Amino acid sequence: MREHVVLVVGAPGAGTTTAINVVSELARTEDPSDDLDYGEIALGPEERLRLYGAPGGKRFDFMWSILRQRAVGLVVLVRNDGPDPVAELEGALEEYRGVRERGAVVIGITHSDDVPSPTPADYERVVAAIAPEAPAPVFTLDPRRRDQLVTMLSVLAANVDSRAMFLGR
Amino acid sequence: MFAGGTSEVRERPDTVGWRSVATAMHSMRQLPMPMLLTVVMQDCEPLWVDFSTSRYYWERSLLAMPEMPGGVTVYSQPLEVGNPPYPWVPWRAMDPLLWQIGRFAFGGERATWMRPGDRYALQRWPNLTEIPHTADEIRMIATLANGYLTAQELALLTGQDEPTAQQVLNRLSLMGAVKPAAGPLAPPSIVTQAQGQPQRLALESTPASSFGLFNRLRDRLGGR
């Protein structure tokens, strides 16, 4: 079975559980006793895109550290009405440096209708400072909207493919 | 609201279509001072674009944007720093407007400010959750995220024709989302390889195989 692991991370309330449930064909509903959310999309008889999320930031267990090593993609959801959303994004990009250097990252800003600032441009400046090698997409996102999640995952996949093409993999 | 307390208005010549608007917008973006652009067209509500906050206001939906407006006049006014104009109107983020104007302004021809043979790379992603887009456009933007390319090279790597690739470059350039290479630059090795292949192999090696994960995901989730 060929698989592509994508991590979906974000602060509590950013929408990681909702996003995984909305876009996945098969999703495991969040259970308070579970450490991970899980969803998958079948890309063929022997190929799966697997989405893993850590609800409430519970991501320091053994399973999560294995997933980090296998992940080719990272979705960071940032809650715009959080106490310090820019610092939240900086922390995630640093924490998952290995994933973004190996694969691709896409950033979704949630609750931006409630709180318009910081703007996507503010986040883009942060991303450019931390990861100047290639621009990371920063999109406004309603995690309940499947069309927007499809766009985010499509961009993530296109970036993985494009990078592989340029590196001759 | 307006710099110097006066309404300094500079009028640009009447034309038909969005070309002069796009050219004026690109010029505004290069200016160090905040500017307000007002576009007046026949049979259309006036369009305001505030470059100090990257927002626009238009009563009309972008879905109802005329492809070829007549009697277009563009006015530009300097703004006071930190004092955006008309705070009572519901301003919107500018990316969707520029994406749409870029589509109509030049067709598949090169934008007036771009030079033949120049290479461009992506410097920021447009906010695609707010912009109608196609799978081919995602592929082209992702390709520009990884190297400096001409329109011809972008077309080659993504299996598009050159006017289609040029139109995407025009739109991204109008949005300030691509940057030109600082000087002469050799093409990326992937371009040289693709150019050296027989046409049949080149076609086989672009987008279907090079964007395999993307294509399979779009097949599954819809949107190709």
Whether the pLDDT of residue B208 is over 50: the answer is: no
Percentage of chain A modeled with pLDDT above 90: 67
Count Cβ–Cβ pairs < 8 Å, chain A vs chain B: 106
Q: Which of B129, B142, B218 sits opposite A162 (nearest CB)?
A: B142
Q: Does A4 touch chain B (CB under 8 A)?
A: yes
Q: How far apart are CA B68 and CA B45, in angstroms?
A: 15
B59-63, B159-163, B199-203: segment of lowest average pLDDT: B199-203
This prediction has a pTM of: 0.91
Whether the pLDDT of residue A27 is over 80: the answer is: no
Q: What is the mean pLDDT of chain B?
A: 87
Average pLDDT over residues B188-200: 76
Whether the pLDDT of residue B6 is over 50: the answer is: no
Extract the tokens encoding A113: 């209708």
Average pLDDT over residues B110-124: 94
pLDDT in tens, A53-74: 976 555 567 788 899 999 999 9
Question: Would you give the DSSP letter of residue A29?
Answer: P
Whether the pLDDT of residue A22 is over 50: the answer is: yes
Q: What confidence tier does A51 reach under pLDDT thresholds 50, 70, 90?
A: very high
Output the pLDDT for position B83. 81
Output the pLDDT for position B105. 94
> Is B216 in Cβ contact with A47 (below 8 Å)?
yes
How distant is the alpha carbon of residue B182 from its chain centre? 20
Extract the tokens encoding B180: 């030109």
CA B147, B152, B158, B163 torsion-angle sign? positive
Q: Which of A47, A124, A148 sits opposite B129 (nearest CB)?
A: A148
Which residues of chain A have a CB within 8 Å of the CB of B54? 121
Q: What number of H helices and E strands is found in chain B?
A: 8, 8
**DSSP run (H or E) holding A63:** helix A62-70
Per the CB < 8 A criterion, the answer to whether B144 and B154 are in contact is yes
pLDDT in tens, B11-60: 665 567 899 999 999 998 888 888 999 999 998 999 999 998 889 999 99
Output the pLDDT for position B207. 46
Helix (H, G, I), strand (E, B) or coil at B113: coil
Output the pLDDT for position B89. 92
Q: What is the mean pLDDT of chain A?
A: 89
Output the pLDDT for position A41. 95
Q: How far apart are CA B151 and CA B135, in angstroms?
A: 18
> Is A165 in Cβ contact with B190 (below 8 Å)?
yes
What is the DSSP pairing of strand A2-10 with strand A71-79? parallel
Output the pLDDT for position B12. 60
Give the residue carrying structure tokens 């995984």. Answer: A20
Question: Would you give the DSSP letter of residue A81?
Answer: T
Output the pLDDT for position A33. 57
Residue partners of B38: CB distance under 8 A and separation at least 6: B46, B47, B48, B49, B74, B75, B76, B77
